[in-house]
Chains A and B, each alone.
Chain A
Amino acid sequence: MQEHTTFRKIIFFNLFLALPLLISTSAKANTEGLELIAIVNPQVELAEVDYQTLRDIYTGQSEHWPDGQRIFPVLRPVVKESAYRFYRDVLEMGPDKLQSHWHKLMASGERLPLKVIHRAYDVGSFVSQQRGAIAIIERRELSKLVDIRIRVVQILKPVLTVLQ
């Protein structure tokens, strides 16, 4: 009986130890699904893009791709976690501030308004048809775009450097 109780304690202890691991694995799977990727029109020759380039594109600092094609950035409304994270982590500004910034560009005739599309499939369709288009979606949404001709571009996260 004593042996049986000890065995149960060991099992519970191990489970207790394994719990954080299980949670972290599940969270990782969740995060992988939420991972942001960029999709571009197939004519845009791009393999990967970093945060700074995305920031330049979405704040209107960059107007053309290196090959001269005009850039058409597409935004998602902030009803999705991924869109929220895109504003927070990549653009480092909220949607209202970004909209104000574009109003300023528009009032001086420098840029047309940003295209805002909600559904992932519509985003994919637009990007596939519009030369120079770029959009940010979640990796898991790629499964909805299998029949659409787009180029998937990896987003490079900034590398944190520790000063010695």
Chain B
Amino acid sequence: MQKLRLITLTCTMLCLLQAQDGFAQTQSAQVPENAGIFQYLLNQFSGPENHSHVYGVIETNLQKSSDYPEGINEAGSTTYDSDAHQYNIPHAHLMLQSMKGNLFNGFLNLNINDEDGVALNNAWMDIGLNGEALKLRLGKFYRPFGLYNEVRDSVTTRLSAQLPEYLGENHTMISPTTNLMLHGRISGSGHTLRYAFTTGNDLRAASQTPFGTDIYYLYNNFFRFGASYYSSNGNAVAPSTEIGELKNSPVQNWMDKDKFNVYGSYMRLAHLGFNLDLEYWSSSHKAERDIEQIQALEAATYLNPTQLQRFGLDGITGDSSASDSIPLQTNYTVSSYLMRLAYTWETEFGFVTPYINYDYYKNPETIAAKEFGGDEKAGRSQDGKFEKFSFGMIFKPIPAIAIKAEYDSNRVKFNNQSVLYSSYIMSAAYFWELN
């Protein structure tokens, strides 16, 4: 009888202890309602959940341009040239993403290549200020601008082999990255309104505050319509004052200063396997050229008659022009539009997506020589106008792999004639993940 009492007592004590332990755990997980903002933030950011993932994208391609107009011979006829085919690795990314608590995200995106070594494409942290409605992003990130800028490294899902011309590396209409963003979204019943306001160092000349905004409406990933605006809000300068290849800068490197605004709108319609993209962009520049840089250009590279006239160098013989003949102040407009139609169907081997593309880009200020800040496309054209008609095919045997082939027919005006030349690009991309 005594043994039975002892056993009953022991069991009761053990049960009580276990219950008390469970109660304690529940209490510790809860934050008192009157704990204050610091306790609240501590709970949001330093919770036990820390989710992270390591992944990336690799893309390798082969491209070649043939029979493009290169110069004018003594007889006044156009001469043509072709490039050797080139193998490139434009994307070799290492991406790390982490989420902590309910409000904190961090993202690191490195691109490793032979030219730059390790390039820091993105390094940002996102802090929720009011759920999804308002967040603050700090660091270096791709600005929301059109359909493609934010997803420029998503090469396995992009329905084309190349970025649109308005984001082209040597003649971009906007600097791809910025440093500070207030953004958010309001969603409900398939409708989403996303807004973003950005500022950063960008290409400002001194203490200006550049300003950018992007707003779009999305319905169920079926229809998207948006608009973007950017103002340098004062003078901007090229990343380098040395005459050399110009990368990701809307300001030409022979400009002393440049004040510019970019605006445009975009639309995407995706239904029944069809995907239609439409974009229009315009950028107005008020710039001042640097005399020495223009004289250096004249001496170093071929400028077509329109460019010579534009830079006040026409009719000049000898190595360099007189300084007073060069018009320093210049106002010009860069414009671009894109139309892309793709259709995806599922086969037993994977997804097949043929697409057609029309890309128009006009920049009267650029020149042909890429190594001196030109772009080899609009810069080759007498009127700065470049058109590209493309037909391509994408094959995705699995979602992580994309094999693309694209043929482009490019049109420029050269030697007072409309000249067509061709180029092709073939690429293979792989989205890799570490478990």
- Find out whether the CB atom of A107 lies under 8 angstroms from the CB atom of B95: yes
Expressed in whole angstroms, the Cα–Cα distance for A96 and B346 within the complex equals: 10
- Find out whether the CB atom of B154 lies under 8 angstroms from the CB atom of A55: no
Interface residues of B in 149-192 (CB under 8 A from A): 150-151, 153-154, 156-157, 187, 189-190, 192
Give min CB distance, A109 to chain B, whole Å.
Answer: 3
Q: Does A26 contact B (CB under 8 A)?
A: no
Of listed B57, B105, B157, B346, residue having the most chain A CB within 10 A: B157
How many residues from A make CB contacts under 8 Å with B? 28
Q: Does B433 contact A (CB under 8 A)?
A: yes
Q: Does B321 contact A (CB under 8 A)?
A: no
- Also in contact, A61 and B192, with CB within 8 A (given A55-B220, A113-B53): yes
- Find out whether the CB atom of B49 lies under 8 angstroms from the CB atom of A68: no
How many residues from B make CB contacts under 8 Å with A? 46
Expressed in whole angstroms, the Cα–Cα distance for A150 and B107 within the complex equals: 32
- Also in contact, A64 and B95, with CB within 8 A (given A52-B190, A103-B156, A130-B49): no
Could you say which residues of chain A place their CB within 8 Å of the CB of B398? 96
- Find out whether the CB atom of B192 lies under 8 angstroms from the CB atom of A70: no
Q: Does B235 contact A (CB under 8 A)?
A: no
Expressed in whole angstroms, the Cα–Cα distance for A70 and B132 within the complex equals: 10
Q: Does B217 contact A (CB under 8 A)?
A: no
Q: Closest residue of chain A to B433, judged by CB?
A: A113
Expressed in whole angstroms, the Cα–Cα distance for A61 and B95 within the complex equals: 22
Could you say which residues of chain B place their CB within 8 Å of the CB of A112? 51-53, 97, 99
- Find out whether the CB atom of B132 lies under 8 angstroms from the CB atom of A64: yes
- The B interface, classified by DSSP as helix, strand, loop or mixed, is strand
Give min CB distance, B97 to chain A, whole Å.
Answer: 6
Q: Closest residue of chain A to B402, judged by CB?
A: A100
Q: Does B80 contact A (CB under 8 A)?
A: no
- Also in contact, A59 and B154, with CB within 8 A (given A52-B189, A99-B399, A100-B399): no
Expressed in whole angstroms, the Cα–Cα distance for A62 and B184 within the complex equals: 11
Q: Does B109 contact A (CB under 8 A)?
A: yes
- Find out whether the CB atom of B55 lies under 8 angstroms from the CB atom of A106: yes
Contact with A104, one of B154, B187, B189, B433 (Cβ below 8 angstroms): B154
Q: Closest residue of chain A to B397, judged by CB?
A: A96
Expressed in whole angstroms, the Cα–Cα distance for A72 and B154 within the complex equals: 23
What does the 1/0 interface line of A30-71 toward B look like (CB < 8 Å)? 000000000000000000000010011001011110001110
Give min CB distance, B142 to chain A, whole Å.
Answer: 7
Give min CB distance, B284 to chain A, whole Å.
Answer: 29
Interface residues of A in 74-109 (CB under 8 A from B): 94, 96-97, 99-101, 103-104, 106-109
What does the 1/0 interface line of A105-127 toward B look like (CB < 8 Å)? 01111001100000000000000
Could you say which residues of chain A place their CB within 8 Å of the CB of B102? 64, 68-70, 132
Q: Does A131 contact B (CB under 8 A)?
A: yes
- Also in contact, A108 and B131, with CB within 8 A (given A61-B192, A94-B346, A96-B399): no
Q: List 19 A-B contacts (CB under 8 A).
A: A52-B189, A52-B190, A61-B192, A64-B102, A64-B128, A68-B131, A70-B99, A70-B101, A94-B346, A96-B399, A100-B156, A101-B157, A106-B53, A106-B55, A108-B154, A109-B105, A113-B53, A113-B433, A131-B49
Chain A residues packing against B (C-beta within 8 Å): 52, 55-56, 59, 61-64, 68-70, 94, 96-97, 99-101, 103-104, 106-109, 112-113, 130-132
